């Protein structure tokens, strides 16, 4: 990592430590915890689509799988919660790899349909398997991650996971593996002739991305303490995709900026009541049309227009 990256990490860590001590609003802290969860999920969905070029419309299913696996492991097996969260991530990662195996011989749009179908199958399974998941009634009585259920502790853990996940993602993108990922996105044939093992890298990146989604789902389950099959829905996947595109798909900071922007803009439009989602959607469309590369692309464009001092 460069010195600039280290400085950004130090500043981010300082803000994480100070912010909840200054701001005492529990609802704002709650929104920030959810933002950290969505930012991490959007960043690793972006690793699949934005960097690798692998369209995935069933990403929320892995969040749901991680949530249910961790919750059920804690409730019925009595395992330590960190181990339960790890199991949720591992199962999501394994299923993410297994789903991509038959997609390796398919074209891009076929992969999108397969992943979309997987997300819907997972949702239906969670709704129908009432003896295990309680179906549409939802799974409740999930053990909390902390005995005190303090939002302050969840804030630190959530943003700690986001910071660690972002650092690891940055290291991955700057490694030889990251360069190979971008090469596959730009031209698979050229990447193959260069000796890059395309299928192996696709499976590896899918496993990493889905593992993170599973861990975030587990964290969500032990924070909210109740989950429903709606967690598998396409709506969550679209929300994650919108955050990535709004911030800048294929960029490092884009999904994180997009998560912060869309969650707090959505809250800001609550006073509009019935028109809130309409304005919210028009805003996303307007930004994507004005800046096809998202907020990060718009900021970079503005920087180029501002004359630099000699």
Quote the tokens at residue 301: 């464009």
Q: What is the C-alpha to C-alpha distance for residues 64 and 59, in angstroms, rounded to an integer?
A: 9
Task: Return the CA Rg of the chain.
Answer: 20
What are the tens digits of pLDDT across the range 151-192?
Answer: 888 999 999 999 999 999 999 999 999 999 999 988 888 888
Q: Which residue has the higher pLDDT, 20 or 262?
A: 262
Predicted pLDDT at 45: 95
More confident residue, 269 or 35: 35
What was the pLDDT predicted at 82?
92
**For residues 61 and 119, is the Cβ–Cβ distance under 8 A?**
yes
93 close to 208: Cβ distance less than 8 angstroms: yes
Q: Residue-wise over 289-302: b if at least 16 C-beta within 10 A, else e?
A: eebebbbbbeeeee
DSSP H or E run through 136: none
259 in Cβ contact with 244 (< 8 Å): no
Contact 102, 94 (CB under 8 A): no
Quick one: average pLDDT of 205-229?
Answer: 94
Q: pLDDT over 90 for what percent of the chain?
A: 44
Q: How far is CA 91 from CA 65, 67, 76, 85, 212, in A?
A: 8, 11, 17, 10, 11
**What letters, b where the CB count within 10 A reaches 16 and e where it falls short, cover 68-102?**
bbbbbbbeeeeeebeebbbbbbbbbbebbbebbee
- Residue boundaries of the structural domains of the chain: 3-232
Residue 191: count of CB within 10 angstroms of its CB: 19
Strand partners, 139: 227
pLDDT confidence tier of residue 310, bands split at 50, 70 and 90: very low
For CA atoms 138, 142, 148, 153, the dihedral sign is negative
What mean pLDDT comes out for the span 205-233? 93
The DSSP secondary-structure symbol of 63 reads H
pLDDT for 302: 73
User: Do the Cβ atoms of 119 and 237 come closer than 8 Å?
Assistant: yes
Alpha carbon distance 269, 277 (integer Å)? 8
What is the rounded distance in angstroms from the CA atom of residue 155 to the CA atom of residue 30?
A: 8
Which is it for the CA torsion 147, 153, 155, 157, positive or negative?
A: negative
What CA–CA distance (Å, rounded) separates 76 from 141?
A: 11
Q: Which of 8-12, 153-157, 203-207 has the largest mean confidence?
A: 203-207
């Amino acid at each position: 990592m460069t010195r600039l990256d280290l400085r950004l990490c130090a500043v981010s860590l300082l803000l994480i430590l100070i912010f909840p001590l200054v701001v005492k609003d529990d609802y704002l802290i709650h929104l920030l915890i959810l933002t950290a969860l969505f930012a991490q999920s959007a960043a690793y969905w972006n690793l699949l689509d934005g960097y690798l070029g692998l369209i995935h419309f069933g990403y929320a299913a892995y969040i749901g799988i991680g949530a249910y696996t961790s919750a059920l492991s804690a409730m019925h097996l009595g395992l330590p919660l960190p181990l339960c969260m790890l199991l949720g991530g591992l199962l999501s990662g394994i299923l993410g790899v297994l789903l991509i195996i038959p997609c390796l011989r398919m074209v891009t749009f076929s992969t999108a349909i397969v992943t979309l179908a997987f997300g819907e199958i997972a949702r239906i399974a969670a709704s129908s398997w009432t003896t295990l998941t309680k179906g549409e009634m939802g799974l409740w009585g999930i053990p909390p991650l902390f005995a005190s259920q303090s939002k302050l502790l969840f804030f630190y853990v959530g943003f700690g996971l986001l910071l660690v996940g972002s650092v690891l993602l940055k290291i991955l993108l700057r490694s030889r593996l990251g360069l190979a990922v971008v090469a596959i996105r730009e031209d698979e044939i050229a990447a193959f002739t260069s000796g890059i093992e395309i299928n192996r890298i696709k499976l590896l990146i899918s496993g990493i991305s889905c593992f993170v989604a599973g861990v975030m789902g587990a964290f969500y389950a032990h924070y909210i303490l109740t989950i429903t099959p709606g967690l598998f829905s396409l709506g969550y996947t679209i929300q994650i995709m919108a955050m990535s595109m709004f911030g800048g798909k294929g960029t490092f900071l884009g999904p994180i900026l997009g998560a912060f922007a869309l969650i707090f803009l959505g809250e800001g439009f609550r006073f509009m009541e019935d028109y809130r989602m309409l304005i919210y959607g028009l805003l996303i469309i307007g930004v994507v049309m004005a800046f096809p590369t998202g907020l990060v692309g718009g900021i970079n464009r503005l920087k180029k227009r501002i004359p630099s001092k000699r």
